[in-house]
Homo-oligomer: A and B are copies of this chain.
């Protein structure tokens, strides 16, 4: 019954390549747009050199939040690809959940600039964590939908690996929401956690190491 005429209304038939290419474009644009929120300081007066140096020094938090957001978006890019790599097809639900995830991610330049301008303000620090939590939660739900609700995963994938990936994904928004709540104690605690959390991504998981050991025999 799969007649070509049905394709008009069946976006779900398409492979994942289209969503991936679109998302890749969005990721690339976000990391490149981040710098636009850093404005050249406008200094005047007698000693321009000293004033410029002072202004640039005062912009330290802006440079650091730029790097932080850059790293976070790059990590999402890798995680996004790892997810779509094991999907055998996409459907309309996945398309919209992916759009929801991109909605939060594309918003990141704003809280980045806000926290860069007001690094000591609780509302700015919590705003940043809110967006990373929402992005993380959307991603976790997209993974859950793909793995268990719509069953879009390649059947050859080991179920235990899916469970472990699911767990790791779920942990991310939980930790980010803890980080943002710590701002009620001290905003510096939140910022410290925002910086530490992405770093954990670079530690290869035990499972990953195990798999790699098995395969390569090392």
Out of B25, B36, B124, name the residue touching A25 (CB < 8 Å). Answer: B25
A sample of 8 more A-B contacts (CB under 8 A), given A8-B157, A8-B165, A40-B113, is A9-B208, A11-B78, A11-B82, A21-B24, A26-B32, A33-B33, A49-B121, A70-B99
Out of B5, B48, B82, B102, name the residue touching A158 (CB < 8 Å). Answer: B5
Total copies of the chain: 4
Task: Specify which chain B residues have a CB less than 8 angstroms from the CB of A176 in the assembled complex.
Answer: none
* A interface residues (Cβ-Cβ under 8 A, vs B): 1-11, 14, 18, 21-22, 24-38, 40, 48-49, 52-53, 56, 66-67, 70-71, 74, 77-78, 81-82, 85-86, 95-96, 99, 102-103, 106-110, 113-114, 117-118, 121-124, 127, 154, 156-158, 161-162, 165, 202, 205, 207-208, 211-212, 214-217
Q: 18 A–B contact pairs at CB < 8 A?
A: A3-B156, A5-B158, A8-B82, A8-B165, A9-B161, A11-B81, A26-B32, A28-B29, A29-B32, A31-B102, A33-B33, A33-B35, A35-B108, A49-B122, A52-B123, A56-B127, A74-B99, A78-B95
Complexed CA–CA distance, A127 and B38 (Å): 14
Q: Is the CB of B52 within 8 A of A118?
A: yes
Task: Specify which chain B residues have a CB less than 8 angstroms from the CB of A211 in the assembled complex.
Answer: 6, 9-10
- For A20, the closest partner residue in chain B by CB is B18
Q: Is the CB of B207 within 8 A of A35?
A: no
- For A95, the closest partner residue in chain B by CB is B78
Task: Specify which chain B residues have a CB less than 8 angstroms from the CB of A117 in the assembled complex.
Answer: 40
Q: Is the CB of A103 within 8 A of B70?
A: yes
Complexed CA–CA distance, A21 and B24 (Å): 9
